[in-house]
């Protein structure tokens, strides 16, 4: 997941900033990565069956459907919105046609008996798992690999999720990338006038039945239909529609998702086990909510970022202590001389620095860079974290920890030296183009996801209530203790809503998941979200893998020669599990003797 930009904040966790003057301020946290991204020609060359220069967008059908705005209401008439999704049938059609051609060739030599299912295949020792997959494909239909869209334009995941593209052909899978309601192009809008599509002037500033009009995001009031449960109901009903369209009611379905999308993929398997046969979830912080047993550690994310700044994360040992000292210097100056940070931090002339809170804003801005660099700490150059607008170097966190930040004597050189080194470090993220002469801390690396960030903030303030804190001791930042009461009050102030603090644990089971089946989770050691995900397998069919050298859902990205070996092995395990689960579904369907899918 994640959507990150200007204030590109993800888990938009509202933590309390405890400054020396005890002034309470709402601290924002980074959001799961969510941005547009264009795969390279080298990436695309790993997928067979396409002409040179193909793109995922061109390989799929962009579609819209009328989805119920409220799946849990029986009101008449049913209000709907236009949900976008991408339907990618290439690999299914290719395998379907190949099997049909093979069948015709066999039939020309000898009439074949009608296949009665794959349950009997293998019993005589003459068939193989591959035979069983083909037989099941013929009887029940193709596997459907369904991406559960996150908090951003779904084109990001369509382009970035190489894991699905690179392995779909071997299964003959249909790929589907569904957009999350309220994000991208799937925004509920006011009804147009009956005599045309244009909105009148009053409608342009009125709230729609769904709550928002593009460009007119409300700062207060609620969006009652912007919930993960409504989004999952969208996905479940879409899957049923697609199965009916391809005439394969028993086709096996597997949810894929990274970050928040991985949470949704997990929960789809838990809540809609009759619709989704398994889930592949990357960097999914499903154990990050109030009410879990044992309780969630609010400092886990900050600890994870800090680990990347240590020798264990591949950085110089002096980095974390130096960053901690630099933040301490910022906070000290917030009370003594706020304007003195301007020169060493290379701030633009119009940066507000009149009050201590302005320096705290600068500190949060700098903190955000480390958060995103940790999530995007990939072993190769990548534009993913920057939304395709630029490129970060390999292991960018280690680059930020280089130069002055690597010097163990840095604190002895004075406060200005510390702040200058901090500016250099965060510049790896904020000045990726190397063209900025000064930093405007009111903006992030680029400006294309403000609305997504606001919408995620609303989700945080309703059901995605994820406690987060920093202390400047365990981690390398500064005190931002978790205070649930203040976080709730801040949500009421911003949105006019009160979080249901225990709802996520109540609805999705918290850490009591051992009753479930067919989910594989991956988390990278370099990803700060790893401490809030499933790190140990819970059963033979609830598999968790920790990936040394992996950052935020690196295994979901297009494969690369520089991928760490654990990431390469994780992808093999994911596909091995999928193959097993697909066979199990085909065999279960065959045992029931249900109708054939149409070739």
Three-state SS string over 112-173 comes to: CCCCCCCCCCCCCCCCCHHHHHHHHHHHHCCCEEEEECCCCCCHHHHHHCHHHHHHHHHHCC
Mean pLDDT of 48-63: 92
Report the range of poorest mean pLDDT among 205-209, 321-325, 418-422: 205-209
Q: What is the mean pLDDT of residues 280-294?
A: 96
CATH class in words for 41-186+226-291+509-592: alpha beta
In this prediction, residue 114 has a pLDDT band, given cuts at 50, 70 and 90, of very low
Predicted pLDDT of residue 378: 97
pLDDT value for 284: 98
pLDDT of the residue at 35? 52
User: Is 167 or 132 the better-scoring residue by pLDDT?
Assistant: 167
Domain residue extents for the chain: 41-186+226-291+509-592, 299-460
Q: Nearest Cα to 468, choosing from 263, 305, 259?
A: 305
pLDDT at 125: 40
Is 242 a residue whose pLDDT tops 60? yes
Q: Are strands 144-148 and 174-178 parallel, antiparallel or unpaired?
A: parallel
Which of 140, 259, 288, 449 is the catalytic position? 259
From the list 90, 180, 552, 553, the catalytic residue is 552
- Whole-model pTM: value is 0.88
Which region, left, alpha or beta, applies to residue 303 given φ > 0 means left and ψ of -120 to 50 means alpha?
alpha
**Please, is 428 exposed, middle or buried when counting C-beta atoms within 10 Å of its C-beta (0-12, 13-18, 19+)?**
buried
Query: Which tokens in the block code for residue 439?
Result: 């930093």
Asked if the model's pLDDT at residue 120 lies above 90, the reply is no
- The whole-number average pLDDT for the span 75-92 is 94
Where is pLDDT greater, at 119 or 136?
A: 136
Residue 368 has a pLDDT of 94
451 vs 488 pLDDT, higher one:
488
Is the pLDDT assigned to residue 486 strictly greater than 50?
A: yes
Give pLDDT, residue 10: 35
Q: Could you confirm whether 552 is annotated as catalytic?
A: yes
> Which class in CATH covers the domain with range 299-460?
mainly alpha
- Tell me what the mean pLDDT of segment 319-344 comes to: 97
Minimum mean pLDDT range among 201-210, 262-271, 552-561: 201-210
Does residue 223 register a pLDDT over 60? Answer: yes
Compute the mean pLDDT over every residue in the chain, rounded to the nearest whole number.
86
- pLDDT at residue 159 greater than cutoff 50: yes
Compute the average pLDDT of residues 303-329.
Answer: 98
- Report which of residues 101 and 22 the model is more confident about: 101
* Most confident residue range from 136-140, 183-187, 190-194, 564-568: 564-568
pLDDT given for residue 126 in this prediction: 46
Active-site position among 277, 527, 555, 563: 527
299-460 and 41-186+226-291+509-592 share a CATH fold: no
User: How long a stretch of residues is the chain?
Assistant: 599
Mean pLDDT of 197-206: 40
Lowest mean pLDDT among 189-198, 485-494, 547-556: 189-198
The residues with which 24 forms a beta bridge, in sequence order, are 18
Lowest mean pLDDT among 150-164, 185-199, 208-222: 208-222
Please tell me the distance from the alpha carbon of residue 184 to that of residue 172, in angstroms, as a whole number: 28
Which pLDDT value is given to residue 52? 86
Q: For residue 220, what pLDDT band results from cuts at 50, 70 and 90?
A: low
What pairs with residue 280 in β-bridges? 256, 520
Tell me how far apart the alpha carbons of residues 246 and 239 are, in angstroms, rounded to a whole number: 11
238 φ, ψ (degrees, to nearest 5): -65, -40
Place of tokens 């309220």: 182
pLDDT at 215: 43
Helix, strand, or coil (residue 359):
helix
Poorest-pLDDT segment among 112-121, 455-464, 575-584:
112-121
pLDDT at 549 over 70: yes
The answer to whether residue 443 is catalytic is: no
37 pLDDT tier (thresholds 50, 70, 90) = confident
Q: What is the pLDDT of residues 505-516, one digit of tens each?
A: 999 999 999 999
Residue 213 predicted with pLDDT over 70: no
């Amino acid at each position: 997941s994640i959507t990150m930009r200007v204030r590109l904040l993800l888990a938009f966790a509202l933590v309390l900033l405890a400054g020396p003057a005890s002034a309470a301020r709402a601290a924002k946290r980074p959001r799961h990565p969510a941005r547009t991204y264009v795969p390279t020609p080298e990436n695309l060359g790993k997928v067979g069956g396409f002409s040179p220069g193909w793109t995922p967008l061109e390989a799929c059908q962009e579609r819209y459907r009328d989805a119920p705005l409220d799946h849990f209401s029986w009101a008449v008439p049913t209000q709907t919105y236009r949900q976008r999704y991408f339907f990618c049938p290439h690999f299914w059609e290719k395998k379907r046609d190949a099997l049909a051609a093979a069948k015709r060739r066999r039939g020309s030599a000898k009439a074949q008996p009608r296949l009665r299912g794959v349950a009997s295949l293998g019993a005589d020792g003459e068939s193989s798992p591959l035979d069983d997959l083909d037989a099941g494909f013929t009887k029940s239909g193709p596997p459907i690999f369904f991406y559960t869209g996150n908090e951003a334009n779904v084109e990001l995941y369509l382009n970035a999720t190489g894991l699905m593209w690179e392995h779909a052909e071997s299964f003959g899978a249909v790929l589907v990338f569904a957009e999350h309601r309220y994000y991208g192009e799937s925004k509920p809008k006011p009804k147009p006038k009956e005599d045309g599509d244009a909105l009148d002037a009053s409608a342009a500033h009125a709230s729609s039945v769904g709550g928002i009009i593009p460009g007119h995001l409300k700062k207060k009031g609620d969006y009652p239909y912007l919930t993960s449960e409504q989004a999952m109901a969208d996905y479940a009903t879409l899957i049923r529609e697609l199965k009916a369209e391809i005439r394969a009611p028993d086709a096996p379905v597997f949810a894929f998702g990274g970050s928040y999308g991985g949470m949704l993929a997990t929960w789809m398997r838990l809540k809609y086990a009759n619709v989704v046969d398994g889930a592949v979830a990357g960097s999914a912080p499903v154990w990050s909510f109030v009410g879990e047993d044992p309780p969630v550690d609010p400092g886990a994310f900050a600890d994870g970022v800090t680990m990347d700044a240590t020798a264990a994360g591949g950085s110089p040992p002096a980095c974390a202590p130096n960053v901690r000292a630099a933040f301490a210097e910022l906070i000290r100056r917030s009370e003594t001389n706020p304007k003195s940070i301007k020169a060493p931090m290379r701030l633009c002339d119009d940066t507000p620095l009149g009050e201590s809170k302005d320096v705290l804003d600068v500190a949060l801005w700098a903190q955000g860079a480390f958060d995103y660099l940790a999530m995007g700490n990939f072993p190769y150059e990548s534009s993913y974290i920057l939304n395709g607008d630029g490129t970060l170097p390999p292991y960018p966190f280690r680059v930020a920890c280089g130069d002055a930040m690597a010097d163990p004597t840095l604190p002895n050189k004075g406060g200005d030296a510390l702040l200058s080194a901090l500016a250099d470090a965060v510049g790896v993220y904020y000045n990726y183009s190397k063209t900025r002469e000064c930093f405007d801390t009111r903006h992030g690396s680029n400006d294309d996801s403000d609305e997504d960030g606001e919408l995620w903030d609303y989700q945080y303030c309703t059901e995605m209530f994820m406690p987060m804190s920093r202390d400047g001791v365990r981690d390398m930042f500064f005190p931002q203790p978790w205070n649930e009461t203040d976080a709730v009050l801040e949500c009421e102030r911003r949105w006019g809503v009160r979080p249901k603090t225990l709802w996520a644990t109540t609805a999705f089971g918290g850490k009591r998941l051992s009753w479930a089946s067919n989910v594989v989770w991956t988390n990278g050691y370099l990803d700060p979200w790893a401490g809030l995900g499933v790190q140990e397998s819970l059963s033979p069919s609830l598999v968790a893998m920790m990936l040394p050298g992996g950052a935020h859902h690196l295994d979901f990205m297009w494969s690369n020669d520089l991928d760490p070996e654990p990431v390469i092995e994780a992808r093999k395990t994911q596909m091995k599990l999928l193959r097993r689960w697909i066979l199990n579904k085909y065999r279960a369907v065959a045992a029931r003797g249900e109708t054939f899918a149409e070739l």
